């Protein structure tokens, strides 16, 4: 399998067939597994082989298929599937940290990621320093000999700043810290974060991996040593494992993810180009635009692909943003992303509502900002819908 190209790995990678030789992968909706003898049960609790299972919190054949397929896509040695993206972020960090450790994190984070770093880790005696993730000098100044991990979203939500994985990894590795990257916005299709120096990559599978808004899920990818010795004991004993049913949906999502994400990214670029320069917009933020502040990095880190999300900053603040959302005919108002359906979100009053106003300003989350996750609808229809909603926002 290792010499297959990506699309082949996504269709066939990790498949395990039962005695019935089914074509589409089976859902093993079982918590437990029967042993032929007491001796076999004893032996399996000592060491579990690749096709042997004990209990679904520890592992399950459908979940294992999902783990192998996503590991093949990311180019990671191993993976552990989790109940949600947040179980993955929490598991990657908490499994390796202890009281007294130091962490450096980018400050532009998904709301729940920020909560883990600001509120939870600190409650257990981990010290966290926040930096502007795009400023390498801030990373250099913040890391110390006792820094155990650095954490960032390689493309931040909702302002779509891109962080240099390779350069931050060099800075972190110089002090022996592990690099943990939340890669949702970069997508597993365009990311090569492990190759670029990340020690662990985390995804919310709820987003592009499902891609049709059905299931929660997450995954932690890394070396076999990190996943099996550090992550697995923490996850299997604390209960954040993925359900076999969700694993099946997400496994089938991987079969089409390359086609979907490439189509969504091509639409996102066309929409951003069509809207650039519109008088009603303060800014069109899309990493794939030449004018984006980190576009050079997008070329080297993501093969020039700016992802499937763009953000629009409407003139007229919250009032204009709400008029825009309410005028949309195709895109729905919600807060998921990576879905086949285009989804528009007003971060300041929803996903980032919790943040104090000064922190919103610092992160560029203005009242006029709308995050737009581009779906699989016809690109021209989306452009027409957004154009009429932009016009309505100024009426
Ligand atoms: C959605 C998201 C998460 C959390 O994932 P869930 O599956 O909702 O738990 C974490 N990080 C980023 C960047 C996200 O977009």
193 vs 150: CA distance, rounded Å = 14
Pocket test for ligand 1, best of 204, 213, 218, 307 (most atoms within 8 A of CB): 204
**Exposure string over 280-299, b if 16+ CB within 10 A, otherwise e:** bbbbbbbbbbeebebbebbe
- Residue in the block written with tokens 């940290």: 97
CA of 110 to the centre of ligand 1 (A): 7
Pocket test for ligand 1, best of 83, 89, 184, 350 (most atoms within 8 A of CB): 184
Q: Note whether 99 and 124 are within 8 A (CB).
A: yes
Name beta bridge partners: 203: 219
CA of 227 to the centre of ligand 1 (A): 20
Q: Note whether 193 and 168 are within 8 A (CB).
A: no
Count Cα neighbours of 343 within 13 Å in the Cβ-side half-sphere: 18
pLDDT of the residue at 340: 98
pLDDT of the residue at 304: 96
Output the 3-class SS for 121-189: HHHCCCEEEEECCCCHHHHHHHCCCCEEEEEEECECCCCCCECCHHHHHHHHHHCCCEEEEECCCCHHH
With a Cβ cut-off of 6 Å, ligand 1 is lined by 84-86, 89, 110, 112-113, 153, 157, 182, 184, 204, 206-207, 216, 218
Atom of ligand 1 nearest to the CA of 218: 7
Q: Which parts of 206-269 are beta strand (E)?
A: 218-222
Note down pLDDT in tens along the chain; length 395 residues.
778 999 999 999 999 999 999 999 999 999 999 999 999 999 999 988 878 999 999 999 999 999 999 999 999 999 999 999 999 999 999 999 999 999 999 999 988 999 999 999 999 999 999 999 999 999 999 999 999 999 999 999 999 999 999 999 999 999 999 999 999 999 999 999 999 999 999 999 999 999 999 999 999 999 999 999 999 999 999 999 999 999 999 999 999 999 999 999 999 999 999 999 999 999 999 999 999 999 999 999 999 999 999 999 999 999 999 999 999 999 999 999 999 999 999 999 999 998 899 999 888 999 999 999 999 999 999 999 999 999 999 99
Pocket test for ligand 1, best of 115, 206, 240, 339 (most atoms within 8 A of CB): 206
pLDDT of the residue at 302: 97
Q: What residue's CA is closest to ligand 1, atom 11? A: 110
Q: What is the topology classification, in CATH, of domain 6-253?
A: 3.40.640
CA of 86 to the centre of ligand 1 (A): 6
308 vs 51: CA distance, rounded Å = 36
Pocket test for ligand 1, best of 81, 88, 106, 110 (most atoms within 8 A of CB): 110
Residue intervals of the chain classified under CATH 3.40.640.10 are 6-253
The model carries a pTM of 0.97
Residue intervals of the chain classified under CATH 3.90.1150.10 are 258-393
Q: Note whether 330 and 382 are within 8 A (CB).
A: yes
CA of 49 to the centre of ligand 1 (A): 32
Q: What residue's CA is closest to ligand 1, atom 8? A: 85
CA of 386 to the centre of ligand 1 (A): 25
Closest CA to 8 of 254, 264, 304: 254
Atom of ligand 1 nearest to the CA of 336: 1
H or E element, residue 103: strand 102-106
Closest CA to 128 of 89, 144, 137, 136: 144
Across the beta sheet with 218-222, the strand order is 78-82, 218-222, 200-204, 178-182, 147-153, 102-106, 127-131
The radius of gyration computed from the CA coordinates of the chain, to the nearest angstrom, equals: 21
Q: Note whether 338 and 274 are within 8 A (CB).
A: no
11 vs 37: CA distance, rounded Å = 36
CA of 338 to the centre of ligand 1 (A): 11
197 vs 182: CA distance, rounded Å = 13
Pocket test for ligand 1, best of 112, 351, 373 (most atoms within 8 A of CB): 112
Q: Beta-carbon neighbour count of residue 233 at 10 Å?
A: 11
145 vs 130: CA distance, rounded Å = 17
CA angle 172, 293, 274 (to 5 degrees): 140
158 vs 22: CA distance, rounded Å = 42
Q: What is the topology classification, in CATH, of domain 258-393?
A: 3.90.1150
Atom of ligand 1 nearest to the CA of 153: 13
Q: What residue's CA is closest to ligand 1, atom 4? A: 85
Atom of ligand 1 nearest to the CA of 337: 15
């Amino acid at each position: 399998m290792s010499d297959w190209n990506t699309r082949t790995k996504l269709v066939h990678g990790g498949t395990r067939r039962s005695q019935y030789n089914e074509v589409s992968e089976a859902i093993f909706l079982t918590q437990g597994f029967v042993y032929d003898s007491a001796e076999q049960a004893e032996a399996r609790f000592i060491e579990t082989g690749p096709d042997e299972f004990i209990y679904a919190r520890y592992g399950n054949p459908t979940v294992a298929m999902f783990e192998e397929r996503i590991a093949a896509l990311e180019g990671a040695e191993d993976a552990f599937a989790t109940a949600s993206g947040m179980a993955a972020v929490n598991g990657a960090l908490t499994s390796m940290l202890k009281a007294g450790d130091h962490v450096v994190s980018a400050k532009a984070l998904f709301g729940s990621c920020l909560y883990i770093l600001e509120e939870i880790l600190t409650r257990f005696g981990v010290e966290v320093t926040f930096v502007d993730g795009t400023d390498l000098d801030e990373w250099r100044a913040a890391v110390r000999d006792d820094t155990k991990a650095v954490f960032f979203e390689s493309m931040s939500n909702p302002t779509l700043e891109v962080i240099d994985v390779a350069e931050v990894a060099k800075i972190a590795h110089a002090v022996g810290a592990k690099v943990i990257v939340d890669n949702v916005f970069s997508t597993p299709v365009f990311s090569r974060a492990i190759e670029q120096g990340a020690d662990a990559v985390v995804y919310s599978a709820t987003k592009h991996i499902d891609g049709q808004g059905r299931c929660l899920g997450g995954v932690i990818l890394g070396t076999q040593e990190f996943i099996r010795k550090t992550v697995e004991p923490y996850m299997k004993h604390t209960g954040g494992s993925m359900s076999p049913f969700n694993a099946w949906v997400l496994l089938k999502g991987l079969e089409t993810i390359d086609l979907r994400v490439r189509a969504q990214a091509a639409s996102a670029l066309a929409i951003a180009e069509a809207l650039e320069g519109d008088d009603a917009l303060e800014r069109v933020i899309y990493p794939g635009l030449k004018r984006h502040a980190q576009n050079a990095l997008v070329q080297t880190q993501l093969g020039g692909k700016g992802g499937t999300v763009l953000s629009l900053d409407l003139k007229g603040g919250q009032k204009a943003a709400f008029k825009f959302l309410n005028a949309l005919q195709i895109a729905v108002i919600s807060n998921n992303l990576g879905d086949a359906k285009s989804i528009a979100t007003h971060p300041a009053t929803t996903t980032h509502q919790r943040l104090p106003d000064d922190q919103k300003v610092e992160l560029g989350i203005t009242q006029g900002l709308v995050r737009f996750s581009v779906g699989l609808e016809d690109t021209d229809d989306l452009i027409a819908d957004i154009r009429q909603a932009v016009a309505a926002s100024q009426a």
